[in-house]
């Protein structure tokens, strides 16, 4: 439910940004000339900020998308400086840009993060510059066959007032569907943001003849890309990379917000080291993810954190031990019944005529402690929960101990 809300909120964010652009355009006639001038060049400022932040936080994919957009914008705004006439612009340069921008964004979204100024990063930047050089050469070649291909019409559409060709419209539509499906399947905020970026860039290019609208919608795409950087930075700082749940750093901050009544539970996966040694670290990592996915579903107002290794912590603000014990027992039982499906290797399948997968199960032990006269501070409460966890292990594990 929390992930679903997060995804819905991400959609709402870029919808509000796009609506803001629409209302801003409506208000343009009432603005003073200096204000209009600022809006006209606002996209360069936002893209510059995005470039700075992406370099600061080493976000290679976002850097490439912003670099692509700002270079293409410069090309489209100042084509006459490159000795390209208006006919070549409308028949070749603009159609090629409309085709390549969405295709490039799809390509960049699939790249792995390998740094900006690393060897891989420099190669990727060089490819963008080479691409722009090739576009320029195509534009000045005045090849009539290229113009026919770029402006080919599949069907008659009531869009004669725009110079965007039908192939570009189709590419943008397929790109939008692709990111929407990918955002749904992966439940990824990054893809959700790229849906907004594609819509913004398409709208900007669709209204290319209105330079103010063009700049405003490009600014919106830059703003969404900046939000991606901020969200990525937050995730790196406060979410555990493996399990995706809040990390120890987030736990420290939440501990400072606790009031006078709360419970802390320390959770440990039973015999995890032996499990790791027997099945390997990859399966061990998958089991950690499985346990974490159960812990985030804890009821009773609890919030789960990755403490470190195979240990987790659950905070229950405003609760007593008696309040949370039933919820922890349900959680313990839920984890014990959640099997991990391990696929057998080819060698194992050849030896056995049975199925090619098996179910692995793990259990958890939990120690619980609440704030009271003996345990006054959160560090003391955590130590009390840790001692209770050792008592749970001595009892035979797979249990909850006070």
Same domain, 227 and 260: no
Helix H or strand E encompassing 305: strand 303-308
Structure token digits, residue 287 = 């089991």
Domain assignment present for residue 65? The answer is: yes
Q: Taking the model in full, what pTM does it have?
A: 0.77
Tell me which DSSP letter residue 81 carries. G
How many CA atoms lie within 13 Å of 86's alpha carbon, on the beta-carbon side?
1
Structure token digits, residue 34 = 């200096």
Range of the domain at 333: 248-401
Same domain, 96 and 121: yes
CA distances from 20 to 23, 26, 208, 376 (A): 5, 10, 19, 49
Using alpha carbons only, what angle is made at residue 378 by residues 377 and 381, rounded to the nearest 5 degrees? 90
For β-strands 364-370 and 400-401, DSSP reports them as parallel
Tell how far CA 109 is from the center of its chain. Answer: 10
* Other C-beta atoms lying within 10 Å of the C-beta of residue 213: 19
For residues 296, 252, 52, 103, the Cα torsion angle rounded to the nearest 10 degrees is -10
Q: What is the pLDDT of residue 220?
A: 95
The last residue of one of the domains, among 215, 238, 261, is 238
Q: What is the pLDDT of residue 347?
A: 46
Question: In total, how many domains does the chain have?
Answer: 2
Q: What is the pLDDT of residue 366?
A: 95
Q: What is the pLDDT of residue 8?
A: 59
Which own/partner contact pairs does 72-81 have at CB distance under 8 Å and 24+ positions apart?
Answer: 72/97, 72/100, 72/101, 72/132, 73/43, 73/44, 73/47, 73/218, 75/132, 75/135, 75/136, 76/208, 77/211, 79/139
Same domain, 164 and 307: no
The last residue of one of the domains, among 175, 210, 238, is 238
Same domain, 280 and 312: yes
Same domain, 226 and 306: no
Same domain, 48 and 130: yes
Same domain, 274 and 323: yes
Question: What's the per-residue H, E or C state across 232-296?
Answer: HHHHHHHECCCCCCECHHHHHHHHHCCCCCEEEEEEEECCHHHHHHHHCHHHHHHHHHHHHHHHC
Same domain, 181 and 279: no
User: How far is residue 218's CA from residue 231's CA, in Å, rounded to a whole number?
Assistant: 20
Same domain, 224 and 326: no
The last residue of one of the domains, among 204, 238, 272, is 238
* Other C-beta atoms lying within 10 Å of the C-beta of residue 274: 9
Same domain, 231 and 263: no
CB-count exposure of residue 306 (10 Å: 0-12, 13-18, 19+): buried
Same domain, 201 and 321: no
CATH code of the domain containing 284:
3.30.70.270
Domain assignment present for residue 97? The answer is: yes
Q: What is the pLDDT of residue 2?
A: 43
Consecutive 10-residue runs of the chain (402 residues): their mean pLDDT? 52 84 91 91 95 92 95 92 87 90 94 88 93 90 77 65 77 93 81 91 91 94 92 85 90 90 93 86 89 92 92 93 92 88 57 60 92 88 92 91 88
CA distances from 156 to 94, 152, 174 (A): 20, 11, 19
Helix H or strand E encompassing 68: helix 60-77
Same domain, 74 and 214: yes
User: How far is residue 371's CA from residue 320's CA, in Å, rounded to a whole number?
Assistant: 8
Is the dihedral angle over the CA atoms 124, 130, 136, 142 positive or is it negative? negative
Quick one: angle between helices 119-141 and 60-77, nearest 10?
20
CB-count exposure of residue 93 (10 Å: 0-12, 13-18, 19+): buried
Domain assignment present for residue 243? The answer is: no
Q: What is the pLDDT of residue 344?
A: 58
């Amino acid at each position: 439910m929390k992930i679903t809300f997060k995804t819905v909120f991400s959609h709402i964010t870029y919808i509000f940004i796009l609506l803001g652009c629409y209302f801003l355009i409506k208000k343009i006639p009432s603005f003073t000339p200096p204000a209009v001038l600022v809006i006209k060049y606002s996209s360069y400022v936002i893209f510059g900020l995005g470039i700075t932040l992406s370099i600061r936080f080493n976000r290679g994919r976002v850097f490439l998308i912003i670099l692509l957009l700002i270079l293409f914008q410069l090309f489209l705004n100042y084509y006459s400086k490159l000795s390209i006439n208006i006919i070549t612009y409308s028949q070749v340069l603009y159609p090629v840009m409309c085709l390549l921008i969405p295709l490039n964004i799809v390509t960049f979204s699939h790249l792995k993060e390998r740094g900006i100024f690393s060897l891989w990063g420099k190669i990727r930047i060089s490819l963008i510059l080479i691409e722009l050089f090739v576009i320029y050469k195509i534009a000045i070649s005045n090849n009539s066959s290229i113009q026919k291909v770029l402006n080919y019409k599949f069907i008659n559409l009531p869009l004669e007032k725009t110079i965007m060709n039908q192939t570009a419209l189709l590419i943008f539509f397929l790109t939008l569907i692709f990111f929407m499906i990918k955002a749904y399947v992966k439940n990824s905020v990054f893809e959700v943001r790229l849906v907004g970026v594609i819509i913004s860039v398409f709208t900007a290019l669709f209204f290319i003849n209105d330079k103010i609208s063009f700049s405003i919608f490009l600014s919106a795409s830059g703003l969404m890309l900046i939000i991606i950087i901020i969200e990525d930075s937050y995730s790196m700082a406060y979410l555990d990379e493996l399990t995706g749940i809040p990390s120890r750093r987030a736990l420290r901050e939440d501990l400072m917000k606790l009031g006078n009544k709360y419970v802390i539970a320390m959770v440990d996966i039973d015999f995890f080291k032996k499990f790791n040694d027997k099945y390997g670290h990859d399966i061990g990592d998958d089991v950690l993810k499985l346990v974490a996915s159960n812990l985030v579903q804890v009821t009773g107002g609890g919030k789960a954190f990755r403490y470190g290794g195979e240990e987790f912590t659950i905070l229950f603000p405003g609760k007593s031990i008696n309040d949370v014990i039933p919820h922890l027992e349900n959680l313990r039982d839920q984890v014990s019944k959640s099997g991990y499906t391990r696929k057998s290797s080819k060698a194992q399948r050849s030896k056995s005529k049975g199925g090619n997968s098996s179910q692995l199960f793990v259990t958890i032990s939990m120690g619980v402690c609440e704030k009271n006269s003996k345990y006054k501070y959160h560090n003391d409460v955590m130590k009390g929960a840790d001692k209770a966890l050792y008592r749970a292990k001595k009892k035979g594990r797979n249990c909850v101990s006070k």
